[in-house]
Structure 1
């Protein structure tokens, strides 16, 4: 594993943060003086919600560093809030003495920010209209005006696009990435694009990797699009006004990696969470809860010896499309890849309207060992008399690159923008009909947004997984390959990260 050093600017910021944001005091040592190999119940007993809550308060204070640029707390990559987050993580691990090898990995990333936008179709402002993530601005960051033009089929080939000079393209979702649709509209001369949902509900997504052909792009719901589709098919003209003031820029950001110095380095147990938030808010649940869980478990693990090495990772750029974890896996040599026996993803562990969710990672569709990890999670919930539910293993978080490169993976979560059903209310309590996290990707994802009961229990579960595999991998399937089957059939994935791309 290559070692890197934090940029000087980050170190200088860190010195300021260290005095302003004191580290949580915990019971630690460097190399343990006892010969006790980690045991699950013992490690779990060191997890206390008060320590987690103090860490969350510190993280929110760090998010406030983003206020000057974004007018509200945020930890989006490139912001002072994210630089402060990186420093907090790095400094916390560094103070643990000689137990971990601590490194960081810088990589290029693309970040976008929409400062202001509006869309008017005819005389109406569609209630569901939102700019796509990583959209460019309208020309000169000024409003543009033109008739709406309906694009044929799903807008996935050049032949679907007529001459769109000085027009706004209206394009159905489906079959190809949103970025492809925006680029094709731009090449056809469109001054902006509107992608509508071809399924029920609102639509939000990302254009993905920037292209010089992309145009300012909005998304709207199927219901909002329907009357305009009818008018255009009937030959009526729909005058349109679109405006987006946005930036899309390239930056460098950083993954932080901490690996135990003891334990078999050829058999590593790896777990990760993402250190960044969206631009819209401080991200104390998403993914402050996951990244702080890792920090607390790493802090308490130093009181034990391990048989297998344990590697903690804090990824940057998850919200922009799994950038940090993708990069990390892409530069692993085959030999280093095979040393990772499994990867566990922890993203959103404290949603206020929570469910205990387990990724339905089966061996039939994923690297062998994924199902054994899944069953360890479900056995834990069952042994505590708790219900759980399976959720799709569909590429929405940082496990994606690992399973695509043959590394068994899985994880748990407590829910994002999905709506809790009546059956789930019966299983977990809470409010049916509301999102699992009503503050998902919003300004209100603060300390007050955390369900402390779910967070403490899930942190104990993370400790259980670490202790189990750090102690022994004898019954865990051995790895044989760094590649896995293409279970998508060659089609692009609906998700690559938290935002829809298709």
Structure 2
């Protein structure tokens, strides 16, 4: 990542932006009705906009994105024709609404698995393992076929700390052509795999770290794999720890391709203060990605269309990100590019609002835990920059004003707000759940079925337009409209004190990248 410019202290900067916003508010004209004080959250300000933002309007865009996937092998993943067509669709709709969208091209490491991989063991005992259950290819794994190859353990140190495969010296005495068995831990997966390749390994098995650890999928971070590489459970790795014989086959595609972000700025609003909001437009390769994240993209497009003629105090920038599914690459490119080439504009970003999966069929109304009250800072939660707690409060207050329950999701930074909070920009957003299981108390709060995933089609071929819950789309698109308009009018609430309070029964899975999925960050 590029070295970031020196930022004004968050407390000073937030106070300045709030003061500037309040001063501008005194003379600005709005197409939305003026505040009446009818509701404590000011939702009456957004009433006209919320009436204009409709579930039908969001589904019009969802159906269009589904049709694009249907014409392009069932996918809208970055680097495919389906994503290019999705980009063209969003741009055309923005232009028709009167915006002047910009398309930001960037290169990224494309990857897809072309068919299920094979991992069979013939010794010390015969077993056939299932791709996606017992093992998973590393993202950016190479292609290849090894039949009855000898499995050679590499410095496993079972029971102790693993540095297996992290040093080239670990492969001293390694027999070229064998399958390397290494253990997860200490260094990036790419380091282990490249060291094994350089030692002549025909394939690489990465076993999980400790007893009981399941199979997993990781990423090499870029197209460095030249041989098949996979992640599997501790138990399967342990069964091969004294050596064995295995057959591994993989067919993948991995190369540098071009993809795009899309940005559209409001016509009005102070050019020195920017409210930014975004959603990732890409799907995973295996499906159309209607809930993940056609839902956030379509709802954001509907909000943008209905706000096209709204007079604002602060500039609003709407963004659709590419290549999120391979590691937040579009939003990272955007922030890195600003830090390097336009640090003044980076400094003007007052807040960022992120919308990733807002239509889950067995939904919860989850708000990013910006005050870290439900999910304290730790391995699964990043610290919310100053102002993030106030954004969280705005969403909860809005849902309260509508008689809707809401709860919290971990402020993990593992969706496209991650690069923003790394720059100390306050952030917030909405999420309706992914592969996590709805609890009994969540079913009481939101309805739906306890003991079932929020989205059983998460990252699957069945994530089509029918995988979106109209109520979730309705509630969240209105909440999005309320938040974007509120901050487009006035940022003063960012400096108001808040009390940290845990709301409802939340979910630790905050959307975006998940540690147990194949777009995991490239660390071991």
Normalized against structure 2, the TM-score is what?
Answer: 0.78
Deviations 1:406-455 (A, max 9, x none): 21112111111222233333332323333221111111000111111111
Once the two structures are overlaid, the 10-residue window that deviates more, 58-67 or 189-198, is 189-198
In the TM superposition, what are the counterparts of 1:22-421 in structure 2 within 5 Å? Answer: 36-37=31-32, 39-67=45-73, 73-97=74-98, 100-116=99-115, 117-122=117-122, 123-127=126-130, 128=133, 129-138=135-144, 142-151=145-154, 152=156, 153-155=162-164, 157-158=166-167, 159-162=169-172, 163-198=174-209, 200-211=213-224, 215-223=227-235, 225=236, 228-230=237-239, 232=241, 235=242, 237-332=243-338, 333-362=342-371, 365-421=383-439
Kindly tell me: are residues 164 and 77 of structure 1, through their superposed partners in 2, closer, same or farther at Cα, counting changes over 3 Å? farther
Query: Alpha-carbon deviations, 1:286-334, whole Å to 9, x = none?
Result: 1000000110000101242111111000111111111111111101122
Residues in 2 aligned to 1:356 and 1:253: alpha-carbon distance in whole angstroms: 31
Larger CA deviation: 267-276 vs 185-194: 185-194
C-alpha RMSD of matched pairs (Å): 2.4
- Confirm or deny that 1:439 pairs with 2:457: yes
Residues 344, 410 of structure 1: 8 Å contact kept:
yes
Alignment partner, residue 10 of structure 2? none
Is residue 494 of structure 2 the alignment partner of residue 467 of structure 1?
A: no
- 8 Å Cα contact 2:139-2:220 kept in structure 1: yes
Q: What is the TM-score of this pair, normalised by structure 1? A: 0.82
Tell me if the contact between 2:165 and 2:183 (Cα under 8 Å) persists in the aligned partners: no
Q: Is there any run of 5+ residues in structure 1 with no aligned partner, and where?
A: 1-33, 68-72, 479-492
> Secondary structure at 2:128's aligned position in 1?
coil
Distance 2:244 2:228 in 1: 18
Separation in structure 1 between the aligned mates of residue 92 and residue 332 of structure 2, nearest angstrom: 25
Question: Compared with structure 1, are the counterparts of its residues 207 and 164 closer, same or farther at alpha carbon in structure 2 (3 Å cutoff)?
Answer: farther
The answer for unaligned runs of 5 or more in structure 2 is 1-28, 34-44, 157-161, 378-382, 497-513
Indicate if the aligned counterparts of 1:397 and 1:496 stay in contact, CA closer than 8 A. Answer: no
Change (3 A) 1:401 1:112: same
In 1, the alpha carbon distance for the partners of 2:175 and 2:433 equals 41
In the other structure, the counterpart of 2:38 is none
1:202-244 C-alpha deviation (Å, 9 max, x unpaired): 4123221232x65321122345x2xx51453xx4x42111111
Select between 467-476 and 161-170 the one with higher mean Cα deviation: 161-170
Distance verdict in 2 for CA 1:187–1:395, change over 3 Å: farther
